[in-house]
A and B are shown apart, each in its own frame.
Chain A
Amino acid sequence: MAKSASSPRPSRPARTGRPARSTRTGRRSPLASVALLVVGLLATGGAYAMFTTAASAEEGGNASIATADKENGEKLFQANCATCHGSNGEGTNQAPTLLGVGAASVDFQVGTGRMPMAVQGPQAERKPPQFTDEQTKDLAAYIASLAPGPDIPADEYLTGKGDVTEGAELFRINCAMCHNVAGAGGALTEGKFAPSLKGVSAAHIYEAMITGPQNMPVFNDQNISPEDKANIIAYLTYLDEHASPGGLDLGDLGPVSEGLFVWIFALGSIVAITVWLTAKSN
């Protein structure tokens, strides 16, 4: 495991980055797995709570919003967001407070088109962004000026380069249970879902991890170091850039789409051929 030694392995509460050999062969009762799951869930929740305090400790001052126009951001905010989030971003009964969410959260929510929210649904969905990149950064700068929060990530982590193997492994351990191993997305409870990660920009991936939008847990720097976040991004970039070696990927949905395909197309065309072969020639 030469590669993981080179990157600092954070000690995360429940899920270790790469299982030691002992987990494979170790004796563990099935109850232990359930217990582990519970511990994992608690730890994630705990990490979330911890993060809210940890994040507010980090000071702002990011290059990309340093040059942004805070006043313009305030104007945009009053015009587009205040009805839901309150005139000072303090939150209303319709929407949560934006104090302390940081520039990263605004950049993610507005940059992916989730905000301003259009329709009430189980969750705010990605749609074509309503603001230019510049306006988005202005908004982010304004919200960041109200209270400190996580910043827009530095460019060095967003190159899409890194240790793909490490990133793939971290992705499988931390993200695949919601987003599927190939990032195709998956269902959560009550109509919520983890979206497909195909074509999501590096910045938005990073920001999703540090802000934990809606039902996604927060992965702070103690959970997954910035280098490892870059590795995850590198893996997702790899998937985007390389088509499946086996041909069409059927949406990477696994055996269900394969089963449907075999019934409808493979068996379907063979049945059509049998009908044709046995048709009376006249």
Chain B
Amino acid sequence: MTTTAPAPATRPADAEQQPSRGTRFTSWAANYVDERTSMSGLVKELGRKIFPDHWSFMLGEVALYSFVVILLSGSFLTFFFQASMAEVEYDGSYVPLKGLEMSAAMQSALNISFDIRGGLLIRQIHHWAALLFVAAIGLHMLRVFFTGAFRKPREVNWVVGFLLFVLAMAEGFTGYSLPDDLLSGNGLRIIDGMVKGVPFFGTWISYLLFGGEFPGTQIVGRLYTLHILLLPAILVALLGVHMLLLIVNKHTQFAGPGRTNDNVVGSPIMPVFAAKAGGFFFIVFGVIALVAATVTINPIWNYGPYDPSPVSAGTQPDWYIGFADGALRLVPPGWEFMIGPYTVSMNILVPILVLLVFLALVAVYPFFEAWITNDKREHHIADRPRNAPARTAIGAAGVTFYAGLWSAASSDLIATHFKLSIESVTHVIQALTILGPIVAFFVTKRICLALQKKDREIALHGFESGRIVRLPGGEYIEVHEQLSEYERWRLVSYEEYRPVMVRPDARGRISQGAKMRSAISGWFFEDRIAPVTNKELEEGSHGHH
């Protein structure tokens, strides 16, 4: 490494040994900065942070890097976008819209697409990166959930991450609404409908939001402020907290030889990880750019300017809002009723409530699990999903529920593409959304237990090698191949929870909460496969082949 080269002063005479001019400059610059900021301590500290390498630990990075891409491309877009709903006549180069009245916002979005060099590419990079951003966050959250990486001391960071997820969706939705094309207008119309579904205040809130009757002339400007100022500011701040907590808490790792709850095995951030991460940023950027350069996203020129009367077939929100759209589509007809002069729109209120409850459950799950297990220890070893059957099953149920809502948002396309009737598609998805999670829960739990059982078998008796040997006595046996210590480690080191017993507290009383905890935890952990103990291992290796 160039920066560790001996200082030039020690060998003045030898010309060949003199560090190159570049090296001299870097050490001078590093010195200059350090003398004025005392950064070297921090850099040293940070640089020695260890980052374990498993592919799933890079998903958060994918989200981070797509966010950087979003910031860069978004800044470019702000140079040209006009967040105004003033009516103008389009005079750009896209022929089928020429001469049409539209808002300045739509016109500028079209100009970015057709009349500003590289504009369409940047617009598409921005939008694809946004889709990728939320998708990567989603996958990252699933990884954290299924490996139990949200347990103490990382519960708070889970909540921060959850907030980032919600903010990302909000950023996405506000961005989707900016071009003021037909699609975004229809999306806002749905939001408007949902807001107006709120009893008593709905209409007031809607008027406040849109500055008058929908669509009004305000909304694009207001969403723009949220989209480029308020939401990104909060997002960046929370992102900082997220990273800081990551450093403070250190990264989790999967169990393995030499990997314990008290250390982290991997490569230090400086220089290996930093170099890898830098390279990885460009890989993510590259994939986004490749997609954006070859695949259309949100062809606003097809949708045309917003106008409240037309609606296109196949009007959908971007994927991450799909679950909300799907929830609305799944409600059977006839749920609204009147109380006096007020319409109570249960068809809107119930889905909103269901979505809020679902999101809230995601946010508080770590605390719920901590309470159930009554586990106050710190955990730095990531669980293999099978070793926490109840949690994995709950996760699978949640994923199934989300998938049900999500697929409902594309019920019309499922119908046309698989030649089904939209009614039967809707009914099937209704059933899947309600029954699917229950089935998923039990199936997943059984699968986890079965996998654990298999692991236990293998740890104790080794693999079936397929080699059949005839013993001198005439008996046939199959030779089992024993695992190496390293391989076995993975299989036997996990924690086992037992149902929490009801115990009287210090004052000799049993609280209602304690009873409930014991009941739930019994349900959680009554089926379990105990990890292999050392004793069993010893017996196993002597007694068997």
Contact of A246 among B124, B307, B319 (CB under 8 A): B124
The B interface, classified by DSSP as helix, strand, loop or mixed, is helix
Whether, in the assembled complex, A69 has its beta carbon less than 8 Å from a beta carbon of chain B, the answer is no
Complex Cα gap A176–B320 (Å): 24
Set of chain A residues within 8 Å of B95, measured between Cβ atoms: 164-165, 238
Contact of A189 among B124, B283, B304, B423 (CB under 8 A): B423
Question: B307, A254: Cβ atoms under 8 Å?
Answer: no
Question: B319, A187: Cβ atoms under 8 Å?
Answer: no
Whether, in the assembled complex, B27 has its beta carbon less than 8 Å from a beta carbon of chain A, the answer is no
Whether, in the assembled complex, B415 has its beta carbon less than 8 Å from a beta carbon of chain A, the answer is yes
Question: A181, B217: Cβ atoms under 8 Å?
Answer: no
Set of chain A residues within 8 Å of B113, measured between Cβ atoms: 245-246
Which residues of chain A from 1 to 26 have any CB-CB distance to chain B below 8 Å in the complex? Answer: 1-3, 15-16, 18-19, 21, 23-26
Question: A180, B423: Cβ atoms under 8 Å?
Answer: no
Whether, in the assembled complex, A178 has its beta carbon less than 8 Å from a beta carbon of chain B, the answer is yes
Question: A255, B139: Cβ atoms under 8 Å?
Answer: no
Whether, in the assembled complex, B288 has its beta carbon less than 8 Å from a beta carbon of chain A, the answer is yes
Set of chain B residues within 8 Å of A182, measured between Cβ atoms: 299, 302
Question: B55, A176: Cβ atoms under 8 Å?
Answer: no
Complex Cα gap A48–B212 (Å): 37
Question: B423, A172: Cβ atoms under 8 Å?
Answer: no
| Contact stretch, chosen from B308-316, B358-366, B392-400, B479-487 | B308-316
Set of chain A residues within 8 Å of B295, measured between Cβ atoms: 246-248, 250, 261
Contact of A248 among B131, B193, B296 (CB under 8 A): B296
Complex Cα gap A188–B419 (Å): 11
Nearest to B301 among chain A residues (CB) is: A245
Which residues of chain B from 192 to 212 have any CB-CB distance to chain A below 8 Å in the complex? Answer: 192-193, 196, 212
1/0 contact string of A14-51 vs chain B (CB within 8 Å): 01101101011111101001001000000000000000
Question: A255, B308: Cβ atoms under 8 Å?
Answer: no
Complex Cα gap A74–B193 (Å): 56
Residue count of chain A within 8 Å CB distance of chain B: 74
Which residues of chain B from 314 to 328 have any CB-CB distance to chain A below 8 Å in the complex? Answer: 314-320, 322
Question: A122, B96: Cβ atoms under 8 Å?
Answer: no
Complex Cα gap A25–B297 (Å): 29
Shortest CB–CB separation between residue A138 and chain B, in angstroms?
33
Which residues of chain B from 372 to 418 have any CB-CB distance to chain A below 8 Å in the complex? Answer: 409-413, 415-416
Complex Cα gap A4–B125 (Å): 36
Set of chain B residues within 8 Å of A26, measured between Cβ atoms: 213
Whether, in the assembled complex, A132 has its beta carbon less than 8 Å from a beta carbon of chain B, the answer is no
Question: A122, B136: Cβ atoms under 8 Å?
Answer: no
Question: A194, B313: Cβ atoms under 8 Å?
Answer: yes
Known: A172-B304, A274-B55. A259 touches B131 (CB 8 A): yes
Complex Cα gap A47–B136 (Å): 51
Shortest CB–CB separation between residue A80 and chain B, in angstroms?
26
1/0 contact string of A90-123 vs chain B (CB within 8 Å): 0000000000000000000000000000000010
Which residues of chain A from 211 to 242 have any CB-CB distance to chain B below 8 Å in the complex? Answer: 235, 238
Whether, in the assembled complex, A76 has its beta carbon less than 8 Å from a beta carbon of chain B, the answer is no
Question: A165, B310: Cβ atoms under 8 Å?
Answer: no
Set of chain B residues within 8 Å of A248, measured between Cβ atoms: 294-296
Contact of B296 among A194, A246, A259, A278 (CB under 8 A): A246
A sample of 12 inter-chain contacts (CB < 8 A) reads A15-B309, A25-B217, A27-B212, A189-B422, A246-B299, A254-B315, A256-B316, A266-B128, A270-B136, A270-B287, A277-B58, A278-B53
Chain B interface residues toward A at CB < 8 A: 53-59, 62, 87, 94-101, 113-114, 120, 124, 128, 131-132, 135-136, 139, 182-183, 192-193, 196, 212-213, 215-217, 276, 280, 283-284, 287-288, 291, 293-299, 301-304, 307-320, 322, 409-413, 415-416, 419-423
Chain A interface residues toward B at CB < 8 A: 1-3, 15-16, 18-19, 21, 23-28, 30, 33, 36, 122, 164-165, 167-169, 172-173, 176-182, 184-194, 235, 238, 244-250, 252-256, 258-263, 265-267, 269-271, 273-275, 277-278
